[in-house]
Amino acid sequence: MPRLERQSADAPASVLLSGGKAPDFTKTWKRHLCVIWSAQFLSAIGFSFGLPFISYLMQEDMGVTDKAELAYWVAAFSAACPLTMMFFSPVWGALGDRYGRRKMLLRSYIGGAVAVGLISVAQTPLQLVMLRVIQGAFCGTMSASQALISTQTPREHTGFALGALNSAMFSGTIAGAFAGGYVAELAGYRLAFLISALCFILSFIAVFFFSREYYEPPRNSTSGVRGMLYALRPETAQLALNLPILLIMCLVMFSRSFDASFVPLFVQDLHGGIEGASKITGALSGICGLAGVVSGFLLGYLADHYPPGRLAVFSALLTAAFMFSISFVWGLAALFILRFAMIFMSSGIDPAMQIWLAKKTDERSRGQMFGWASAMRCLGLGLAPVAGGPIAANLGIRAIFAGGSVFFLLTAAFVYLTMRHYKEI
């Protein structure tokens, strides 16, 4: 039996493994997953309660009415957080391997609460962008929760657990976007961001009081500043092995986010004005969140029983077809149907990549690898609005959907080539 050493009171539920095998997670993983799922559900509400309506805040409260200027600021706002997170995620992931992933998750909730809460008092688009930079530097709840869950779950249930985490994000998006749309419409956009901050605080409370982590730090680790610097050393062998998967993750997030920043503006155009558009956008986000919930559980379960790469290829091809069809939509009903189908299929790609990554990564390095995965996703997430902004400003929003479908076709091709590289087909 391993010897368990409880750490100091500043992390009362982080338990250090000192030699031997890890505890038997078969009796604890479901309870632990429920706690982290609930916390991620709340954080997803925090993200979606106000952020989908940022373009409306810029127009009504900050006076940005020129369409080209609005597209520029929406793109800058959308890119600021992921591009910053791209540099910080590997650092937080490596520190999580050294000091515990639970601590990193708690840190991300605090960062989200502060950054999103301050958006409620921002007065200019530039201030909004700077707050997103702060959010990118100190947030990152998804990669932290993935690293934590993947090391506290039996291997045969990893796919289901990671898929469930993705469903938490989407189900939180349902509740957040739906409720946030009504709050923004009735009480103003700034109150929506204050409620967002409260959701992050509740996530912090849930993990701090109701979760426990068992982990083993790297061998021959040292304490103090020297140990921290050693923890930041990249695991080059693991990086080389997983580089194809990491590059696909970047492309997947680029493809999924290519149109996301401009969907509220597309809804506004189809609706015929900004009045009432936030409620419709919230309802659309809720419907898409429902698609993600079902997809996360279903495709996560399938990924435990079938090759993740094959599921990703199938999902990417169908996503491309649905996304291309949206470029011909002229009514809100058709947009709701096609967007639901598109999100359902695209939501199966990223979990498949996460499961693939977890199965090819040593448990002691998963925090760093999921950090690098988050960095690559953030790179794609940050580049997408930067690339999409000029297209929307010059060719119109419909060109965004047509162009995005091409990237999903490329995703399917690259996943297939990676499967051949790993000799899985």
CA distance 332 to 6: 55
* pLDDT at position 115: 92
Of 108-112, 226-230, 359-363, 382-386, the range with the highest mean pLDDT is: 108-112
The arithmetic mean of pLDDT across residues 279-288, rounded, is: 80
Segment 167-193 mean pLDDT: 81
Q: Looking at mean pLDDT, say which of 68-72, 247-251, 391-395 comes out highest.
A: 247-251
Residue 272: its pLDDT value, please?
Answer: 81
Nearest to 116 by CA among 53, 182, 186: 53
46 within a domain of the structure (yes/no): yes
Residue 5 in domain:
no
What pLDDT score does 42 carry? 94
Of 141-150, 198-207, 284-293, give the lowest mean pLDDT range: 284-293
For residues 416 and 422, give the distance between their C-alpha atoms in angstroms, rounded to a whole number. 10
Dist. CA 192–CA 121, nearest whole Å: 11
Whether residue 198 is contained in a domain is answered as yes
- Average of pLDDT values for 399-417? 91
Let me know the angle formed at the C-alpha of 104 by 98 and 107, rounded to the nearest 5 degrees.
Answer: 140
**Over residues 158-162, mean pLDDT:** 80
- The boundaries of the domain holding residue 126 are 22-216+224-421
Q: In the chain, how many domains are there? A: 1
Per-residue model confidence (pLDDT) at position 232: 55
> Which phi-psi region, left, alpha or beta, contains residue 2 (left: φ > 0; alpha: ψ -120 to 50)?
beta
Q: Which residues contact 344 (CB under 8 A, 6 or more apart)?
A: 291, 292, 294, 295
Comparison of pLDDT for 386 and 253, the residue scoring more: 253
Does pLDDT of 61 surpass 80? Answer: yes
Range with the largest mean pLDDT of 6-15, 63-72, 128-137, 239-248 = 128-137
**How many CB atoms within 10 Å of residue 5?**
9
Residue type, 133: V
Q: Is residue 275 in some structural domain? A: yes
Q: Could you give the CA distance from residue 127 to residue 115 in angstroms, rounded to a whole number? A: 11
Which residue do the tokens 């399917």 mark?
A: 412
Let me know if residue 52 belongs to a domain.
Answer: yes
**Is position 9 within any domain?**
no
Check whether 239 has a pLDDT greater than 90: no
pLDDT value of residue 4: 38
Kindly list the distances between the CA atom of residue 61 and the CA atoms of 122, 123, 190, 412, in Å, as whole numbers in the listed order.
10, 8, 10, 42
Mean pLDDT, residues 25-48 taken together: 88
pLDDT > 70: percent of the chain: 88
Q: Tell me the C-alpha distance between 161 and 293, whole Å.
A: 13
Please report which confidence band the pLDDT of residue 359 belongs to, taking 50, 70 and 90 as the band edges: confident
Band (pLDDT 50/70/90 cuts) for residue 338 is very high
312 within domain boundaries:
yes
Structure tokens belonging to residue 357: 């990554």
CATH number at residue 37: 1.20.1250.20
